[in-house]
Amino acid sequence: MDLKDIGKCIREKRISKKWKQEDLAEHTNLSVQYIGMIERGEKLPRLETFIRIANVLEASADELLAGVIINGNAGRISQYYEKMSCLSSSNQKLLYKITEIFFTETKER
């Protein structure tokens, strides 16, 4: 299991709320240093702490564990869909073209 994936998801969710590590530490009653270690993948929080972090960030466990759960791709695809729906029409079309090229290239190999 790559702890960096969990930490990266926590960091991304924190940043999406426009919070600093200090803000997350305050809301979860954890130290800034501990939050940093989790986000860098140096520490894996206990289940109770992980749940507290998820609740404070208003994130599902699927979102935060998407990189390490075998079936986590469904959650990740859902996140991409949400991000895509916020793009302009022209950027959505560009992303579709890029995706089609990717599938065409990987199919031929």
**Residue 28: which of 47, 60, 54, 61 has the closest Cα?**
54
pLDDT of residue 67: 74
Residue 48 in this model has a pLDDT that exceeds 70? yes
Whether 1 has a pLDDT exceeding 70, the answer reads no
Any idea which architecture 1-68 has in CATH? Orthogonal Bundle (1.10)
State the burial class of residue 58 (Cβ atoms within 10 Å of its Cβ: 0-12, 13-18, 19+).
Answer: exposed
pLDDT band at 75 (very low <50, low <70, confident <90, very high): low
* Domain positions in the chain: 1-68, 74-109
Residue 74 is predicted with a pLDDT of: 67
- Chain CA centroid to CA 43, Å: 17
* Cα 10 from Cα 81, distance rounded (Å): 19
* Among 72, 75, 81, CA closest to 99: 81
* Span 71-98, average pLDDT: 83
- pLDDT, tens digit, for every residue of 9-30? 999 999 999 999 999 999 999 9
Whether 72 shows a pLDDT value over 60: the answer reads no
